[in-house]
Structure 1
Amino acid sequence: MLPEPQRRGFCKQCKESGVQCDKKKPRCSACVAANKPCGGYDMGHIFINVNSSGPPPTWNRGQSAQKHLVLDLASQPATSPPQTLDMLAASLPTTSHTSDAMSLGSVDASRAIIALADPANIHHLVELFLDIYLRRYGPGKTPVDPLTAGNECGGWRLLLPSWLGQSVILDTAIGAMAASFIGSQYQDVGLSDHGGNMYLNALQMVQKALPELGTSERKHLLATTLVMSSTELFMSNGGGSSQLTHIEGATRLLNLSMDSMDLEELHVYILNQGLFEAISSRRSYPCSSPSFRHLARHIYSVPRTNRNDLYFQWCERILPLPNYLSVTDSVTSSTTAAPVSAVKAILDDLSTLEQSITPWYELLQSSMSGPWTFPAAQVSADSVPFPLQFISIEACTNYCLYWLAQLLILEARQILYMRLPQSDVPEHRALQPRISEYASLVCRSVQYCANNTSFAATENMFLPLDVVSSYYLRQGDHDRMNWCISAFARISREHKIGFASKKFDMADMRIVDTSYDPNGIWDQV
């Protein structure tokens, strides 16, 4: 909970009018002057239209930007978790297993779904996995979320049916991932154990295949790394060393195979997987180096099955960021002061990166309506004041990616400014309010993507929420950091997955440990 002075005070208009200013229900200056209720008000980047249930019209936004855009930890009474098993059971083909499930409770619906999960029929298992992953409950199995299937961050999973039959290793890994996910969603121990056994089999196959001549040219091993990384998440090891092992192995295979393999859609997802992990961990990323830039441009230009151009354009533009963050951290952690010229060179790189994102953001604004909010939308403990609404999951994802990039760039700039004479940093004091605003915007977007949505939609918030929680940790703002970690805990409970203890060891949340340890498996590449 924020202290009262941060939530309530006097703005300029209220001081002049001699009235109490309530930042929870602010009004525009015209309504304040006339002392009348306000139908809508400008909130910097966000216009709140109190009387409408849709996006606001084009608005001439003012300059009173981030005054109210801080994460308020006040919460509302919690609501009971939504029940979705009956919806899924009703959408599945009617069989001897499901004919009675449509009218029964969630427990029986769960049993009916598990009865359809035949581990011996991998094609059917993958289709069932996609039904649950995307929550394809609508007519014609359309997702119930405002999401175009394939446009989520994990959109590569929609390609799984086309990958089947390429190799025994890949089929085994896909079966392990699907069985692990379905088993965890419906707490079926037998199916989860089957997924674990298939995962171990796939690991053994990979170990035997890697030493063979020409293995790095076999694209199915690249796809296997992507699938195994996802399996680690579904086995509750998300963000742990075992998942990192597969991500690093994918990056190594990608670099070794570029000279002898035709580029295709798979390589885009491999590149993005490593990029997201590197941004999250602030580690240097081999594919972020200038020498890789030309090849990256070719990879991102490969034709794709799933059309979400703005998302992939953002990934391409932001590719250098992990190395800039890593260098910034090295400068600040070093006991020896870095030369001023070196600090300024990093600042120049950050400015160039920020400028490259500007045209992309302008295109985003012209292509997808920005967020809006309703004060009455606070309905649960998950919420924050003025939770943001979007026209689609894709729009929410793209805006959050822009905000997290701005947060990281501005924070790095702020850190580096401390290594320069104050006379060289005229905007130093102006950075913190903007950084706080971007962090708040991400937090206010969580509810839209992760409240009673599919795993496909929820997963889009993993990177933004992780970046913001780490930012609050670096700031020593433990209240807001714990709010972010609690959001991950709610995701863990709703989707029945866990995260590695080393990833979120600052919060009291359930962690599911497994005995699988693939560390070192890709060292033979």
Structure 2
Amino acid sequence: MVGVPRSSGCATCVKRRCDERLPGCAKCETYGKPCPGYDRGFKFITGKPYRTRRRPPGNGSSSPNKQRSDRVSPNAGNHSQSASQVAVQKEQPWCLISGDINVMQSLEALIEDFSQPAPSSQKHIVSHWFSYLPSVYGHNRTLDATIKSFAAHHFGKIFQNNQMIAYARSAYGESLHRLRKSLKNPSECLSSHIFCSVVLLCLYELFTDTEDPESWMKHAKGLGQLVKIRGPDRYCNELDISLLKVSRGLIVMHSMFSGEACFLATQEWHQMMRQQCAPGISSDLHQSIEQFFAYFTYAPSLVHRFYHLKEIDITTPEALQIISATLEQALDLQSKLAPWYEQFSQIAPPPSETLTSTDDLTYPIVLTYSDMTHASIYCGYYAYMIIIHEVLKTFGYPGPHAAMVIYFRDQICRSVEYSSVGVLGPYRLGFPLRVAIEVADPATRSWILARLSQFSKIYAASQPKNFEPILGSNEH
């Protein structure tokens, strides 16, 4: 369009060739001018969150549950209708107008999106954490920039608005710049606000980075270091507890894929997390989930031993010792998970079988769960059992381990239709599918890659290229 600058550079050097470095460009630095950043002037328009118009009862009307199921597609990456109602418009050409009331309004819509499809009484721990964002916004400039970046990217992807996505990148650069300063400030570095910023930045990478499959690992490593430095005694309010519950899955996954020991695998951390019950969860369910996560923190050490054996001569005395220790650990975890599963299945109903709604020929019978939290724990259990049985099968321990690997792999795949719904669906399935694809035959692998390709439109970490085999052969 005539008269509209096509450069995405900063306001000062838009007529020059700008390197677009963040948080400020080199041109401004050379000329001794403060870089005004890359904002292009949009705002979230204040408005009421979308609500489905009520239909009068009568012929042709459906129940509330039926109306709700009609609005939610079984395919991952679909968003609730509320988000698409948040209007965005261009304002003054070089001035970002984002008053607090507009950011707060946007957060309301974002929280609703990330809570779907579950009702408020059945929120997943991650979506529950998002509900704290309005209360912490406006108290810390590092966290404010991070919140704006995450929200702008979310709505930019929904509307396919490149201007919003560009602003999200700019705010992301600002948040990183501020975070470095905050981490050097003794009075701020261990605060809940900075902890919240680090968690949100890690999630931002998972949702946005399409170039570097390991970018989230760098943030997850920093997140783990911060959690460790803060120490177990600092998690004593609801926000910190929720942030820790969100963080630990990322910390365990980073440990597993990086080869680094998982510091959460200690009685001190286990005891602290058992004492801190997240809101809205019964005591029995809380204790059962915490017991599973305590076992889950030992998964990295099992995988590290197993992976190490894939790279060395297994006939050496050293290898034989590692094999013995690995088998002993796998059998110990199997013996502990068996009674845990019996107890958990009494608290959280096991999934039921139903016909797929997508005419899927590979998995025509799928699994449905009582709620998303239960589904997440069950899928985590299936993934853990794959690892254990794969170890036992590889080293020739007696038992139908090959069949069990296939069974638990298929349980994960049959859970995809239920668990992948909503913005957070691909996030919930990240670890289970990562394990399932390691043991998939060619047909199942193709099926998983097709699902991942769909997820990656919203959740960048689901790009198929990020799921290259790690542990070895896919032939079963």
Indicate if the aligned counterparts of 2:356 and 2:363 stay in contact, CA closer than 8 A. Answer: no
1:230 aligns with 2:210: no
Name the residue aligned to 2:456: 492
Name the residue aligned to 1:270: 247
* Aligned pairs (5 A) from 1:148-159: 148-159=121-132
Which of 218, 225, 247 is the matching residue for 2:191?
218
Distance change in 2, residues 1:146/1:257 (3 Å)? closer
Structure 2: stretches of 5+ with no match in the other structure: 1-48, 54-78, 91-96, 470-476
Name the residue aligned to 1:130: 111
Structure 1: stretches of 5+ with no match in the other structure: 1-87, 93-105, 136-143, 419-424, 507-525
Q: Which amino acid aligns with 1:459?
A: Y
Indicate if the aligned counterparts of 2:157 and 2:165 stay in contact, CA closer than 8 A. Answer: yes
CA distance in 2, matches of 1:262, 1:199: 27
1:410 aligns with 2:389: yes
Indicate if the aligned counterparts of 2:434 and 2:467 stay in contact, CA closer than 8 A. Answer: no
Report deviation, 1:115: 3.3
Report deviation, 1:408: 0.9
Report deviation, 1:432: 0.3
1:283 aligns with 2:253: no
Name the residue aligned to 1:82: none
CA distance in 1, matches of 2:428, 2:296: 17
Which of 368, 372, 376 is the matching residue for 1:389?
368
Report the more deviating stretch, 355-364 or 257-266.
257-266
Distance change in 2, residues 1:232/1:370 (3 Å)? same
Indicate if the aligned counterparts of 1:185 and 1:496 stay in contact, CA closer than 8 A. Answer: no
Which of 204, 207, 211 is the matching residue for 2:177?
204
Indicate if the aligned counterparts of 1:176 and 1:198 stay in contact, CA closer than 8 A. Answer: yes
Q: Which amino acid aligns with 1:385?
A: P
Name the residue aligned to 1:248: 221
Distance change in 2, residues 1:454/1:378 (3 Å)? closer
Q: Which amino acid aligns with 2:398?
A: P
* Aligned pairs (5 A) from 1:163-182: 163-182=136-155
Distance change in 2, residues 1:324/1:213 (3 Å)? same
Q: Give the secondary-structure state (helix, strand or coil) at the position aligned to 1:255.
A: helix
Indicate if the aligned counterparts of 1:372 and 1:390 stay in contact, CA closer than 8 A. Answer: yes
Distance change in 2, residues 1:354/1:498 (3 Å)? closer
CA distance in 1, matches of 2:289, 2:212: 22
Name the residue aligned to 1:481: 445
CA distance in 2, matches of 1:262, 1:369: 31
Q: Which amino acid aligns with 2:438?
A: S
Q: Give the secondary-structure state (helix, strand or coil) at the position aligned to 1:131.
A: helix
1:326 aligns with 2:304: yes
Name the residue aligned to 1:435: 405
Report deviation, 1:400: 1.4
Which of 412, 419, 423 is the matching residue for 1:455?
423
Name the residue aligned to 2:466: 503
Report deviation, 1:272: 2.7
Indicate if the aligned counterparts of 1:114 and 1:186 stay in contact, CA closer than 8 A. Answer: no
Name the residue aligned to 2:273: 299
CA distance in 1, matches of 2:234, 2:372: 34
Q: Which amino acid aligns with 1:466?
A: R
Indicate if the aligned counterparts of 1:378 and 1:384 stay in contact, CA closer than 8 A. Answer: no
Q: Which amino acid aligns with 2:107?
A: V
Name the residue aligned to 2:58: none
Indicate if the aligned counterparts of 1:164 and 1:170 stay in contact, CA closer than 8 A. Answer: yes
Q: Give the secondary-structure state (helix, strand or coil) at the position aligned to 1:455.
A: coil
Name the residue aligned to 1:120: 99
Name the residue aligned to 1:12: none
Report deviation, 1:498: 5.9
CA distance in 1, matches of 2:468, 2:321: 38
Q: Give the secondary-structure state (helix, strand or coil) at the position aligned to 2:123.
A: coil
Name the residue aligned to 1:467: 435
Report the more deviating stretch, 439-448 or 390-399.
390-399
Q: Which amino acid aligns with 1:246?
A: H
CA distance in 2, matches of 1:471, 1:365: 25
Report deviation, 1:382: 8.1
Indicate if the aligned counterparts of 2:122 and 2:371 stay in contact, CA closer than 8 A. Answer: no
Distance change in 2, residues 1:378/1:217 (3 Å)? closer
Name the residue aligned to 1:345: 325
Q: Which amino acid aligns with 2:154?
A: F
| Per-residue deviation, residues 335-376 of structure 1 (Å, max 9, x unmatched) | 3633534322222222222222223211221122222223x4
Higher RCO, 1 vs 2 (CA within 8 Å, ≥6 residues apart): 1
Q: Which amino acid aligns with 2:453?
A: A
Name the residue aligned to 2:38: none
| Per-residue deviation, residues 452-492 of structure 1 (Å, max 9, x unmatched) | x31134432222112101232xxxx2321121111111223
Indicate if the aligned counterparts of 2:375 and 2:419 stay in contact, CA closer than 8 A. Answer: yes
Distance change in 2, residues 1:260/1:373 (3 Å)? closer
Report deviation, 1:252: 0.8
Name the residue aligned to 1:187: 160
Report deviation, 1:502: 4.9
Name the residue aligned to 2:293: 315
1:426 aligns with 2:426: no
Report the more deviating stretch, 120-129 or 376-385.
376-385
Distance change in 2, residues 1:156/1:360 (3 Å)? farther
CA distance in 1, matches of 2:83, 2:370: 32
Q: Which amino acid aligns with 1:274?
A: I
Q: Give the secondary-structure state (helix, strand or coil) at the position aligned to 2:124.
A: coil
CA distance in 1, matches of 2:132, 2:425: 17
**What is the RMSD of the two structures over their aligned residues, measured on CA atoms?**
3.2
CA distance in 1, matches of 2:273, 2:381: 21
Report deviation, 1:314: 1.9
Q: Which amino acid aligns with 1:442?
A: I
Distance change in 2, residues 1:356/1:259 (3 Å)? closer
Report the more deviating stretch, 455-464 or 109-118.
109-118
1:161 aligns with 2:129: no
Name the residue aligned to 1:79: none
